[in-house]
Amino acid sequence: MASTTVEDAEKWANDGTGALSIKLVRSAEQTAQLSKAEQHLISSFHPKFVYPIFGQEETIYGYQDLDIQLQFDSSSLKNFLSIHFKDKLPDSSPVQPDPIEETLYKFIPPDYTKSEEIFKKAVEATASEVFSPPGTKISSYRATHSKGKGKSVATGKFEPWVKCESGEEEDDEEVIYELWAANWKTPGFREFHRRMQIFILFFIEGGSYIEEDDHRWEFVVLYERRKRKTDVDGQTPYSYHFCGYVTLYSFYHYPSSTRLRLSQFIILPPYQSCSHGSMLYSQIFQYLLKRDDVTELTIEDPSEAFEDLRDKEDLKLLMKHKVFNLDLDKLVPVDREWYQATKEKWKLADRQFARLLEIALKIRFDGEEPNPKMERLYRIAVKERLYRFNYDSLVNISKEERRERLQETFEAVMKDYERIILGQRREIE
């Protein structure tokens, strides 16, 4: 056994995010259905964060070559846990190894197994019993097949996914992605949520578990749906595999409606960089537009990447419906009655709708003959909004400095709008 002096202490320290591997496991039949290009769906991946579980330093101490495997049945999300290491600090050491299993036990349901054989049998059993998502299906989408179709109105770029319209005949060999809505009263959902909530800690900075006794939470879960090769009499002919989910929190909105706040949004790594996040957000937004009880959708502390996603999808939807196809003199300066009515119709927060209007106008100015008068009015309108938004930081400085700061902010906003219009991703440090 190696010594435990300060000099060699580092050899007993393990990076928690690297030591922990996550995997979504399918049955043998379901695995055989995957093409070579889909093998990443069953490959291991690492969490982005583990500090909510193992502490701020994200270090697991007391082991050499630590390997933690946390596997999930891709349908039921039941767990298998294995912990292996090359060496471990002895009991006689003045510093004891971190209690890995005892720590994880606080964050996952207690019915996990440490037997790989038992876990594999459980995965096969879930597949044979035919797992069905808890809740109500609210939307679905599939890959875009038709040439020349699926282009964004806002950017003109090809969109990889298209919503499955009601009554549309589906190809049983096709992979479909479905959104299912649920709440705490949905049969079976509370137990399912306890299995999936750990992904919030792993992939959302500052993420935390939510209270199960708060009835104001709503959920939308995204699943990959595939045709089963083996028919089961009287059962669904499809298998479902967990891709990610969204939490929504409702607030009372006077006099008799609800304002929903999108709180947590997660797409698991095997499904990232494929535009599933864009589809999940856009389909949820369109679902909420149809709900008479919902007045507005807001976003809680969005990341820069999520703001980009939201801007793109909101702009695409509004331009598809020609919301901004009005005479310029009604938009610059904006007709307040039209502005308020349109913002409420599309259930958008004030700042978001104002930004979408500004982006749409920039697209229009860039594509038409120069119009100095309207472009000047546009600059004034944008700066007025920026002044209101940054009032606290601008009100106590000199007029000249205020003018300079507003101009700098305006130029930065225009540069960012240009990036959004071109469909470029934001670079995040």
250 annotated ligand-binding residue: no
Report which of 239, 76, 219 is spatially closest to residue 138, judged by C-alpha positions. Answer: 219
275 annotated ligand-binding residue: yes
Partner residues linked to 261 by β-bridges: 249, 298
Q: How far is CA 367 from CA 15, 107, 359, 360, 370, in A?
A: 51, 53, 12, 11, 9
Question: What crossing angle do the helices spanning 372-389 and 350-367 adopt, rounded to 10°?
Answer: 160
**Residues written for the chain:** 429
Contact 60, 66 (CB under 8 A): yes
277 annotated ligand-binding residue: yes
The SS3 call for residue 362 is: helix
Report the C-alpha gap between 327 and 254 in whole angstroms: 33
Residue 293 CA to its chain's centroid (Å): 24
Report which of 264, 191, 169 is spatially closest to residue 222, judged by C-alpha positions. Answer: 264
3 annotated ligand-binding residue: no
363 annotated ligand-binding residue: no
266 annotated ligand-binding residue: yes
Catalytic annotation, pick one of 38, 116, 174, 300: 300
Q: How far is CA 37 from CA 107, 162, 229, in A?
A: 33, 20, 19
93 annotated ligand-binding residue: no
Query: Is 300 noted as a catalytic residue in this protein?
Result: yes
Question: What one-letter code names the amino acid at 30?
Answer: Q
276 annotated ligand-binding residue: yes
Residue 231 tokens read as: 């028919």
Which residues make Cβ contacts (< 8 Å) with residue 284, sequence separation at least 6?
Answer: 179, 220, 246, 248, 262
- Residues with catalytic function: 300
Residues in the annotated binding site? 265-267, 272-278
Residues contributing to the annotated binding site for acetyl-CoA: 265-267, 272-278
